[in-house]
Structure 1
C-alpha cells in the first residue's frame, strides 16, 4: 500500500509541476480578467458536474467570503447549488440546459463565466458557455486531458496536463487557490 501512496503522490507532484511550467501565463491572465471584471462591478459565474460542481462551489465561497485576507465580499455564483432550480430546469428543458438557463437569468455583459470540466467536453457546460458568449461575458475553461471542445471555444482555457480525473481535479483546485490568492492581493493591497 505504501508504494501505491507514493506513486499517487508522485503523480500529483508531476501534474502540479506541469501546471507550473505550462500554465503560469494563463493563470496570470485569469487573475487579470477576474480583477478587471470584479473591479468593474461585474461578477463571477462558475459551473461544473460532480467533483467539478464541488470545485465551483468552493471557488465561489472563496470569492464571496474570503480566501486569506479580510476584505469586502466579491460577487460570485456557483450554478450548482440550488437543487430546485437544477431539477426544474432538468425536468422542463433537459439536463443539458441546467447551466445555460441560469446563465440566461444571471449573466450580464462583462461577467466572467467559468466552466470546469475534467474532460473538456461536458455538454451542459459547452451550451452554457455558448450562451455566456452571446451575453457578452468573458469565458474561461478549467479543463483536463486535451481540453476537449471547450478549449477551442473559451476566451481562456487552462488545461491541466493529465488524463487522470483525480489529478486533474487536484490541479483545478490548486489553480483556484492561486487565483484567489493573487486576486485578493491585486484588488486589496
Structure 2
C-alpha cells in the first residue's frame, strides 16, 4: 500500500537507505548544521532530549571511528557524527525504571538520516563499534554513551537507492490483541 496522504514524506522515506559508498566531496559546514538543526526538533520522552551529537573534527577522532568499525566502505565517508545518549538526563518509566535513552537517541538519529536524505546526502547507522575507543577519542564523560556512528556524505556517483525489502502491512499490524 503506497500512501497518497503524504506523498513527499513517503518519497523521502523510500529514498533513505544505508549508504555504503560516498564521493570524496566535502559536506559544507552549513549543510551539516542544517541537518543537525532538524535533529534538534526530534521528540523525546518528556522532552528530556538526552543526547549530544558530536561531529568528528580531528584526524584522531576519524582514526578512532575507522578503527572501532573496521570496514572498508566506511573509509569513503567524508564526515562522521557520533550520536550519544545521556542516561542521567533521560526519562525512566516509573513502573519499572525502563531507561528511554536509546529510544530517544534513535528517534533523533532517524531525523538526522531523513534530513540528510532530503539534502541529497547519504547516511548509515553504525551500531557495531567499540564504544570505549569512541568515548576516549571524543572525551566523553562518565554517563555519556556513544549509541551510533553516522557516516555522512554525498553518495558516490552511480550509486542507486537499493530496492527495499519490507514486510507487508498485514505482517506488522494487528488490530486489537496480538
Q: TM-score, normalised by structure 2?
A: 0.29
Q: Which has the higher contact order (CA 8 A, sep 6+)?
A: 2
Q: Higher helix fraction: Structure 1 or Structure 2?
A: 1
Instruction: Give 1 or 2 for the bigger CA radius of gyration.
Output: 2
- TM normalised by structure 1 equals 0.28
